[in-house]
Structure 1
């Protein structure tokens, strides 16, 4: 039996300031292959190249990854400012409708960092452009210097809702995570259910209410050492279970069914 296919939403990059590519981090591909048990397929995020319908027909699930550009604030009804940073409008035009279509169909999705924010915006949420400037918040951004190990080091706890899907999945109400983001959720949409918080109140884990399929999203980066990390591994493994169920055309796994 073939492995299911997980589409990894790619990011636009310029090599040597001139050569355009759609790329994906090796950590994401390794997590999908090694822990989810699926074939990782990097998606060119451009509606001139691929359509939502084609992607859903080709892939069994989708990983919405982190990325330097942010979701454009027009997508949640606000005016862009310098604080909002860089944008990738083509990724917005693929990722947001793809999330909405997958949620409606029950096709599994997993959101990570920017992907967490994409799921939030697709479900009607708004974003803060720079949460470290809010009273009482810590700096969640990636350290500017140091090794990869230092940048992805565990930096704060995340506390999950008692009895919620993340508590059931992790077997613990509190876990340690890394943190490498500047933006955060301002106002969650009606169906975007916050299921975990950092000590400063920043929203860190969520799912889509009443979705017929797997719709978990996290603000941290679980792809780092996913095969050995005790928090990352169950997250990608549960995603894999949902993807295989979809590939076999079984009933999609609801977040409420996570043991």
Structure 2
């Protein structure tokens, strides 16, 4: 019986007391296990970053998680950051380099919220630092005073691109998603195609054409993934792509020792 595929999750830097820790939200780890059927591997985000190829060669997939921090704006423009904006330079240094290498290697990649924005920036796209202040867009932020079940509950409709991966998973061109983000895509990165939009036109998901699995979503499908068929379908599609990659990697290893 084949072993579960290995999925890497870059960490966030957290200050606990006087010491910095590297951590990943448990809901993302559970989604990899229960949704994708894979084994999670936590990848330390350091500055300077560890060499990407040392990680990616041993993995079958990469999941870029959401986070409380935002990408530093100098990575995608010259607009200064706003006061109080939380940043994680070590994560930026790690993930923005991982993305193009993972794609070049054909590694399946699922990007969620901050991860969605990281992929966009890694391919030359830009972001609205405050989407709710950009003309024509609604406020996509959650109310942090609400219980988590409300914060992560369905917030608005999502229109899915006809014939796209998400439409296949959903069984149609409409779905519902949660909404917990202050930033959003301003200019889409090179080679990325829109998979879903919100009622106000905000880009909610994209894919990258040219083979392989790369899906970015602005919402949080990891939340209670086994209880939501649409969310579970996203993680299962990612897990299936990882299993295909793992089988290919096993065949290559066997051939090398033949």
**Structure 2 length normalisation: TM-score?**
0.92
Q: Look up the match of 2:222.
A: 223
Higher gyration radius (CA): 2
Deviates more, 1:50-59 or 1:77-86: 77-86
Aligned-residue CA RMSD (Å): 1.5
Secondary structure at 1:94 match in 2: helix
Q: Is the 8 A contact 2:12 2:22 kept in 1?
A: yes
Q: Look up the match of 2:254.
A: none
Q: Look up the match of 2:153.
A: 153
Q: Look up the match of 1:242.
A: 241
Q: Counterparts of 1:173 and 1:38 in 2: how far apart (Å)?
A: 28
Q: Look up the match of 1:11.
A: 12
Secondary structure at 2:146 match in 1: coil
Q: Which runs of 5+ in 2 are unaligned?
A: 250-258
Q: Is the 8 A contact 1:84 1:130 kept in 2?
A: no
Spell out, residue by residue over 1:196-240, the C-alpha distance to the aligned partner (whole angstroms, 9 max, x if none): 101011110101122x31100100011001112122101000000
Secondary structure at 2:227 match in 1: coil
| Superposition map of 1:50-89 within 5 A | 50-82=50-82, 85-89=85-89
Q: Counterparts of 2:95 and 2:150 in 1: how far apart (Å)?
A: 30
Q: Counterparts of 2:77 and 2:186 in 1: how far apart (Å)?
A: 12
Q: Counterparts of 1:29 and 1:191 in 2: how far apart (Å)?
A: 29
Q: Is the 8 A contact 1:5 1:39 kept in 2?
A: yes
Q: 1:50 deviation in Å? A: 2.8
Q: Look up the match of 2:252.
A: none
Q: Look up the match of 1:257.
A: none
Q: Counterparts of 1:47 and 1:246 in 2: how far apart (Å)?
A: 29
* CA gap 1:28/1:142 in 2 versus in 1, 3 angstroms: same
Q: Look up the match of 2:194.
A: 194
Q: Give every structure 1 segment of 4 or more consecutive aligned residues whose post-TM-superposition deviation is greater than 6 Å.
A: none
Q: 1:49 deviation in Å? A: 6.1
* CA gap 1:84/1:129 in 2 versus in 1, 3 angstroms: farther
Spell out, residue by residue over 1:164-221, the C-alpha distance to the aligned partner (whole angstroms, 9 max, x if none): 22212221101000000000000112312111101011110101122x3110010001
Q: Counterparts of 1:77 and 1:137 in 2: how far apart (Å)?
A: 20
Q: Is the 8 A contact 1:22 1:43 kept in 2?
A: no
Spell out, residue by residue over 1:118-156, the C-alpha distance to the aligned partner (whole angstroms, 9 max, x if none): 111111110000011123322111212021111111110
Q: 1:35 deviation in Å? A: 1.3
Q: Is the 8 A contact 1:84 1:129 kept in 2?
A: no
Secondary structure at 1:248 match in 2: helix
